[in-house]
Amino acid sequence: MIPARRIKLFSNWFAIYMRYRMRRAFNRLVVTPFTPKPGHSVLLLCNHFSWWDGLWGNYLAYWHLDRHLYIMMQEDHLQKRMLLNLFGGFSINRSSREMVKSLQYAAGLLNDPENLVVVFPQGELISNHTTEIKVEKGIERLIKNIKGPCQIVYNCALIDYFESLKPSVFFHLYDCGVAGEVTFDELITKINTFHRHALKAQIDVEH
């Protein structure tokens, strides 16, 4: 397992640079108003459907949720882009015993209320149009290991175009409760309800 070697200054530069890149690549980045609970760290569960997801996680952490970003990445992906290690990327290898270590490491990060950890519960790239979010077992273990106060947030990102050649991305953020207070089954139901809600809300989104 590769732990994060987050360097604050570099992470700040990276966040500013990526915001610039995103503003160029996208027509609009719309985030539903959301304030995380004060004094809680944030476990940000995102749907995984594109190349941009992790960078969006960074964007949300910096400019909207106001926490230090850490992000769980597949080991081979991280090894190819070790630079991201300096911005808070740490690895998970699903086919090895070290997986438990990564989950415990993530839980440990969440003990600090300043931190935010991005995890993709689907564990693989799945269509943006999917109506069901599958949540991998590991998430249960991760949440069980969190000792400090931690809010679980589901982020459903959806891409739509409307009057532009550039895509717009809409982030629908939902509060799934505090770690330790929701059971794993409840969490899965909540995420799926929220996901369907986001798909519905997207239809009437302003454009």
CB proximity list for 65: less than 8 A, separation 6 or greater: 34, 36, 42, 44, 116, 153
Residue owning tokens 């690549």: 25
CB 87 within 8 A of CB 61: no
Euclidean distance between CA atoms 174 and 180, whole angstroms? 17
Binding status of residue 52 toward another protein by CB under 8 A? yes
Binding flag, residue 159, another protein (CB under 8 A): yes
Contact pick of 38, 95, 127, 181 for another protein (by CB under 8 A): 127
**Binding segment toward another protein, per CB under 8 A, in 32-40, 93-101, 123-131, 175-183:** 123-131
Please tell me whether residue 22 binds another protein under the rule CB under 8 A: no
Q: Does 131 bind another protein (CB under 8 A)?
A: yes
CB 152 within 8 A of CB 186: no
- Cα separation, 41 vs 114, in Å, equals 6
Instruction: Select from 79, 96, 164, 193 the one that contacts another protein (CB under 8 A).
Output: 164
Is the CB of 8 or the CB of 77 nearer to another protein?
77
Residue nearer to another protein on the CB measure, 122 or 151: 122
- Residue 51 contacts another protein per CB under 8 A: yes
**Is there binding between residue 3 and another protein (CB under 8 A)?**
no
Classify residue 194 by its DSSP letter. H
